[in-house]
Amino acid sequence: MGRALLIVDVQNDFTEEGALAVTGGDAVAIGVTRLLGAQARDYACIIASRDWHDADSDNGGHFSEDPDFVDTWPRHCVAGTPGAEYDPWFDPAAVTHHVKKGQGVPAYSLFEGKTDDGETAAEILSAHDVDGVDVVGLATDHCVFASSRDALAEGLRVRIFTDLVAGVATESSHAALEKLVAGGAELGSSGVH
């Protein structure tokens, strides 16, 4: 059995200057690129997700003119716009599979996405005999949390590299990591700096 790397939403709209900027987002992008440069060959597959919302709808109530920042949000990561593209500090050359999520619906987890060929993350991981995943990306308290939770639900061993995630808020990020550990996840460090 092998291990995979899950890279969650390292996109312009979630890094500095983006519509939903997370402090430290660019640093995560730089760190993930360093991790890939040092350890890409250690992974059976590398899956990167992107929010990829429809431009002409509220995406199932996900977008709002008066967002609560819990269930509704300002417009972000609209398909085909610069905000939906990967952060320029993140080099996706070693990524083996790209999934898009939130196409017309609210979606937080990488496991809700599909490749352009229609493959889900769960199908990709199964095809590569993966039983464990390392998780990095944005944001700790939302999409990293949801992706890690779903990986645990798939029966995978989950390790979150805490040096390669950044959250919207310190308190909610800490709570998210505590919940994941309580569910069986492990916290670790990528070892790249």
Q: Is 100 a catalytic residue?
A: no
Catalytic residue selected from 13, 87, 141, 143 = 143
Helical (H) or strand (E) element with 172: helix 170-182
103's CB contacts (< 8 A; 6+ apart) are: 52, 53, 54, 59, 79
Q: Is 101 a catalytic residue?
A: yes
Catalytic residue selected from 101, 134, 141, 150 = 101
Distances (CA, A) of 90 to 8, 49, 152, 164: 12, 13, 26, 12
DSSP E strand boundaries for 74-183: 97-101, 130-138, 157-166
**Helices H / strands E in the chain, number of each:** 4, 6
The residues carrying an active-site annotation are 9, 101, 143
